[in-house]
Structure 1
Amino acid sequence: MKVEQALAEATEKEALQEKEDIAQKSKAAELAKIKEAEKARKLEAINKAKQEEALAEARKIKEAKEKAEAAAAAAVISAQERVTHETKLVQQEVVTPRKGEKYEEVKAEAGLEPGYYLIANVFGTKKYFEAFVADLERKGLQPDSFIRSKNKFHYVYLNRFDTMGQARKARDSNFDGKFSGKTWIFRVVGK
């Protein structure tokens, strides 16, 4: 009987131990579920924060782009207003050539905006025109040119000015000491 009782007690102990093991495993599984849910919640919160941060950054970029576009539009309008103002000044200025001053004036010339062009040279052939421009560029100048519709000659100019005073100052100073050749002023009055 003692053996049977000991066997029964051992079996009961094993059953209790098994129940405890099952309870612990159940508790561990429940803790794992809770940890997994907490991890998922944290991950979702992080993703949401990143999403909100990305949206805020996108808004900042959009606002910066809109400001830049508005500034560019304002700059274009300002430049257009400046050109219009300068054109009116050029058109209104009355010029009396000085004694010995080489000066030519036209109402309009295709492709040229109104102003005073400091002419460095005029060429009838492309070969000499290109050589002259290349020489000026080697000297660090940035000449520009146009082909006159009247005679098809290449006119090389050092700069365009808004007033006769500015053009004369550049001519008299040998283009701030950068050009030693003779220059003259070609004026496009405008319409």
Structure 2
Amino acid sequence: MQTVVDNIAGYSYGAQELATSPVTMKDLDLLKQTITLDSEDSRYLRMAGDVLEDQTDSLVNLWRGVISSMPHLAYYFKDKQGNVDEEYKAKVKERFKQWILDVCFKPYDQEWLNYQHEIGLRHMYTKKNKTDAVEAPPHIPMRYVIAFTAVVNDTIKPFLAKKGHSLGVIEKMHKAWCKAVLLHVTLWTRAYCDDEGW
């Protein structure tokens, strides 16, 4: 199971130089309670990870196809001349594939919390483009980060259904996945907000 990697450009999960998330573990616990993400969901998430592990490339290709079909989203992978930066897209794709596995397999601990904050920072002025040293637009509005959650959650179910599980198990994996993605995206929005606003 490829749950730990050290050869993906810009993938710095657990790196000491990452900032500590301003979200506390207590905050995280309250968020998990609010989303109703519990131990049963964690079990079905791991099951989903087993199902999705060899499908990450196809899944990210599907998501990237949606992004490419919408000029207002494709814009964020273009250089100043309006050309798509294919090298940048390729690097981000590998991190996106790993993110699927991280959602399912990583313990939601302090290291994980710190990396979620890092992902949020990489979508906005603070760190966008710096990881890959590119000249794409420097900020993705939070509204698009949140709204794309619908695509990520709506398209996952056919992939979860490809390994012969019962409909009931597929539903439980999908429910757990949707809760976990909502938790991730909620944490990413912290980078966009001040203390009072979040």
Question: TM-score interval w.r.t. the shorter chain?
Answer: under 0.3
| TM-score between the two structures when normalised by the length of structure 2 | 0.24
Q: Point out which structure has higher relative CO (alpha carbons under 8 A, 6+ apart).
A: 2
| TM-score between the two structures when normalised by the length of structure 1 | 0.24
Higher percent of residues as strand: 1
